[in-house]
Structure 1
């Protein structure tokens, strides 16, 4: 082999035959391909993107939001987990998009129209409702509610709790034996079945405007016991105090809870001077005449606009007490007495009150065992009253003559736009004629046509 000359800085390269040179070259290129198999043209993420990812990952420990630019804030909110602690998100995040994700991921059906068209309000109202529905006295940690109150108090305006669980009984058999010894066939005895005390919760919700409650247990199945549906005297005392301490409460509904006359009186005493209450419902309870008299006093002293007493046990004495309060009442616009038994004595008393009342717009007297005398008096009401827009006499026994008298009274009435006489035994022809006249009034009201001037009361 030839030696390089002295002073020559070039490196000696051994000579290779053509076949070896070709093999060496091929090996070189194959080595380059295997060296970086994942090589691509993708660019490295921007520093801004890496920062946003870090903020999202560490949001629970270091919530950074207000200091971000609007576009960056939007990206962070879209990526935040809906399982973050409420202590972090409640008072920091007001973005409706985030709370919409929280709601839709948790509940299958979401209707924000029942929650002021606000996703955040819906989340906190339903979240608190779910905790109250599952709260077991003496078992559930009260801090579940107490710790949530500071987080949700600015957003909760309506609560609908259709279940209250009683305390867990240690020995159900022993309890049933005790009840049978006292002669209680239905288990109505109040044996430590007091429910969650809303007196702890309601005063801490300054914006609460609507409260819908049912004291009972849903889906109890084979575990059914009468005591699961017992609204005790202590429950009523606690609730009455709680409602009185909600100065902004406008709507209060306590339904299907076995509210009797005594409990009605207790509630009314705490509602007499309530500054904001405009709607009260005690539907599907056990209110009788004494309770109705207490409610009559409430009508006289409060600003109540809607009273629903559907499906109770009010008879003519209770209806007469309500009628007396209604005669000169300046605020009540809706009264529902469906599924009671006021009979003609009660129906006539209400009719006479409506000859002077100039406020009530809706009256429901369906299924009250009414007959022709009530129809005869309401014929005068229809001829004179210009305020009533809706009357329901369905499922009574007004008779053919009663129907004709109502038709006569309706002849010059231009205010009534709803008149239900189904199953009232007035005859198909009368029903048809009444329907035509009411439909004409409704069309005239829709077009804004002037009505007859109001008649002077008797």
Structure 2
């Protein structure tokens, strides 16, 4: 029988015998052969040349599913350029490795935290290899590798996304943020939405540029209507860098046409999360948006932080909250005073209020309405997290009632309020009766460090228990003003 001898040497074998720079073995009798000179021009195998040819001509003739061997597909995806047109790569490539490579090369300074890390290469079986580009919910769940993790604190689901979804969401976000209104092309925007739309569930726009002539932005409503799978929207109308020469107040405040376009877009979607941040939004601008959101069935999160709602806007928003099943509400730094905070307390006082997270920090609420909010917490069966930091609240008996009798509150943030050691001792004593609180923030509250340490240690020792009753029978109702009650007699548009 004729023996067959190999006529080539494996590349990895050659690398094992290569001598590294700076290494010398003078004491050794046996000298290693240096293969570094003659193996540099070692010809590639026919398979490697074929895969390289496919990669070089992939834009004209995209082949992936036609390649039978998974190993060959891996090699192809590893050498495939990341600057190929999305209209070609999106319908064909679902593998996480390629999109991760593309994302890290394009945005090396971004570090995503909610992206699924899976095997390096994943290929569908032959039965499901062919997928239409206009995919439905089932296909998206296959390619996006979604996993839902329920939050123990607020009950709002958080989702992890695939690298493909992460790339496409950032692609459309970057395009919108850099787009000048004068250069807006409806046909081009439609093409981008058709490509990215089936995979985009979250859109977080950090700035929108305005036109020099009329100060309006791009018609964001048209963009939203082209994203049928969108669930979360976060938008800021303010430009980041404009310089002193080009500054005017339209940079901060959205125009009436901007609000109208946004409201029209919200009517055509069914979002779970809406965030309008740092946009100078006032009461009159808030009403059209709330009218559009009124048609939603499952609005979970509503965030108007760093806007200018004031008391009137907050009252209108509280009327809206009474009609909806919102779970999280953030109104940070909205110039909410005594009247607006009383409206918030009135909403919390309702047993049917679904809010589980409320953040109103950095508002000049004052002591009267601040204590009203705390008293209303006793009548709320769902609120778990409350943030009243930096609200100029001098707490009275209400803080003791909440800590003794609340059976739902888990986190309470009261930093930067004039509390003092006297109220600090009340907090420490009342914690002996609390079985649900897991965290309390009392920084910068004029409380002695030793007393604050005792409170923190007491919080750590609180164990879960459901022994306490929800509300004692002799608990008195909070006293709301007649003016506050009249606010809720009509519609939030009034």
TM-score relative to the length of structure 2:
0.74
In 2, distance between residues paired with 1:225 and 1:45?
60
- What pairs up with 1:121-140 in 2 under 5 angstroms? 121-140=165-184
Query: Displaced runs of 4+ in structure 1, greater than 6 A?
Result: 39-44
The DSSP-based 3-state class of the residue aligned with 1:423 is coil
The answer to whether 1:90 aligns with 2:113 is no
In 2, distance between residues paired with 1:141 and 1:264?
28
**Do the aligned residues in 2 keep the contact of 1:299 with 1:326 (CA within 8 Å)?**
no
Structure 1: runs of 5 or more not aligned: 1-38, 170-191
In 2, distance between residues paired with 1:384 and 1:369?
24
The answer to whether 1:67 aligns with 2:82 is no
- Counterpart for residue 131 of structure 2: none
The DSSP-based 3-state class of the residue aligned with 2:430 is helix
**Do the aligned residues in 1 keep the contact of 2:407 with 2:466 (CA within 8 Å)?**
no
The DSSP-based 3-state class of the residue aligned with 1:252 is strand
- What pairs up with 1:80-159 in 2 under 5 angstroms? 80-115=80-115, 116-159=160-203
**Do the aligned residues in 1 keep the contact of 2:302 with 2:326 (CA within 8 Å)?**
yes
The DSSP-based 3-state class of the residue aligned with 1:123 is helix
In 2, distance between residues paired with 1:384 and 1:273?
36
Superposition deviation, residue 49 in structure 1: 4.0
In 2, distance between residues paired with 1:299 and 1:341?
21
Q: In the superposition, relative to structure 1, how do residues 111 and 155 fare at CA in structure 2: closer, same or farther (>3 Å)?
A: farther
**Do the aligned residues in 1 keep the contact of 2:55 with 2:80 (CA within 8 Å)?**
yes
In 1, distance between residues paired with 2:246 and 2:415?
35
Q: Deviations over 1:245-300 (max 9, x none)?
A: 221x2121111100111122222222223122211111111111111112212221
Q: In the superposition, relative to structure 1, how do residues 49 and 261 fare at CA in structure 2: closer, same or farther (>3 Å)?
A: same
Question: Which of residues 304, 314, 329 is equivalent to 1:292?
Answer: 314
- Counterpart for residue 209 of structure 2: 165
The structure with the largest helix share of the pair is: 1
Q: Deviations over 1:77-104 (max 9, x none)?
A: 2222111111111111111111122112
In 2, distance between residues paired with 1:362 and 1:208?
27
Superposition deviation, residue 42 in structure 1: 8.5
Q: In the superposition, relative to structure 1, how do residues 149 and 128 fare at CA in structure 2: closer, same or farther (>3 Å)?
A: same
In 1, distance between residues paired with 2:194 and 2:460?
52
The DSSP-based 3-state class of the residue aligned with 1:363 is strand
In 2, distance between residues paired with 1:200 and 1:162?
18
The answer to whether 1:355 aligns with 2:378 is yes
Q: In the superposition, relative to structure 1, how do residues 244 and 430 fare at CA in structure 2: closer, same or farther (>3 Å)?
A: farther
Q: In the superposition, relative to structure 1, how do residues 411 and 141 fare at CA in structure 2: closer, same or farther (>3 Å)?
A: same
- Counterpart for residue 19 of structure 1: none
In 1, distance between residues paired with 2:304 and 2:42?
68
The answer to whether 1:452 aligns with 2:475 is no
- Counterpart for residue 346 of structure 2: 324
Q: Deviations over 1:163-185 (max 9, x none)?
A: 1101134xxxxxxxxxxxxxxxx
Superposition deviation, residue 52 in structure 1: 2.7
**Structure number with larger C-alpha Rg:** 1
Question: Which of residues 316, 341, 364 is equivalent to 1:341?
Answer: 364
In 1, distance between residues paired with 2:375 and 2:424?
18
The answer to whether 1:236 aligns with 2:259 is yes
Q: Deviations over 1:63-118 (max 9, x none)?
A: 12211112222222222211111111111111111112211221122434345342
In 2, distance between residues paired with 1:216 and 1:243?
19
TM-score relative to the length of structure 1:
0.79
Q: In the superposition, relative to structure 1, how do residues 406 and 112 fare at CA in structure 2: closer, same or farther (>3 Å)?
A: closer
Superposition deviation, residue 240 in structure 1: 2.0
Q: In the superposition, relative to structure 1, how do residues 395 and 62 fare at CA in structure 2: closer, same or farther (>3 Å)?
A: same
Q: What's the RMSD between the two structures over aligned residues?
A: 2.3
Superposition deviation, residue 334 in structure 1: 0.7
In 2, distance between residues paired with 1:422 and 1:41?
65
Q: In the superposition, relative to structure 1, how do residues 409 and 43 fare at CA in structure 2: closer, same or farther (>3 Å)?
A: closer
Superposition deviation, residue 339 in structure 1: 0.7
In 2, distance between residues paired with 1:270 and 1:197?
16
Higher mean C-alpha displacement, 195-204 vs 40-49: 40-49
The DSSP-based 3-state class of the residue aligned with 2:412 is strand
Counting matched residue pairs gives 389
In 2, distance between residues paired with 1:383 and 1:43?
79
In 2, distance between residues paired with 1:146 and 1:455?
53
Superposition deviation, residue 404 in structure 1: 3.1
